């Protein structure tokens, strides 16, 4: 089922991001312990991307015309936000 962050705010969102990072670190630790030297895992922050997550943020959501116009004009497009993930998934050299 789809989980909603509504009512729990950014704390729940931030918790889920932390869990992704911790999972990634544990996955790499286990891969290293298993001798899977060819496997590199990564977690990342793609930047501030123009997605629907911003619609419920006070003073940023679409209902606040001035603030949202200034804010949304500075965001990455979803394509730009995906570039880092694509790079990490396809790069053969370790950083």
What averages of pLDDT result for each successive group of 10 residues across the chain (95 residues)? 59 86 97 94 86 65 58 83 89 71
Confidence (pLDDT) at 1:
44
- pTM attached to this predicted model: 0.66
Confidence (pLDDT) at 93:
75
Q: For residues 64 and 76, what is the distance between their CA atoms, to the nearest angstrom? A: 19
Q: Which residues are CB-contacts of 76 (< 8 A; sequence separation ≥ 6)?
A: 46, 47, 48, 49, 50
DSSP letter assigned to residue 33: H
């Amino acid at each position: 089922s789809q989980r909603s962050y509504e009512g729990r705010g950014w704390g729940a969102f931030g918790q889920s991001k932390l869990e992704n990072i911790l999972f990634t670190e544990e996955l790499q630790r286990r891969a290293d312990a298993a001798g899977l030297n060819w496997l590199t895992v990564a977690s990342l922050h793609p930047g501030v991307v123009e997605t629907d997550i911003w619609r419920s943020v006070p003073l940023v959501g679409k209902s606040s015309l001035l603030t949202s116009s200034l804010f949304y004009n500075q965001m990455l497009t979803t394509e730009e936000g995906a570039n880092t993930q694509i790079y990490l998934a396809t790069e053969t050299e370790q950083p």
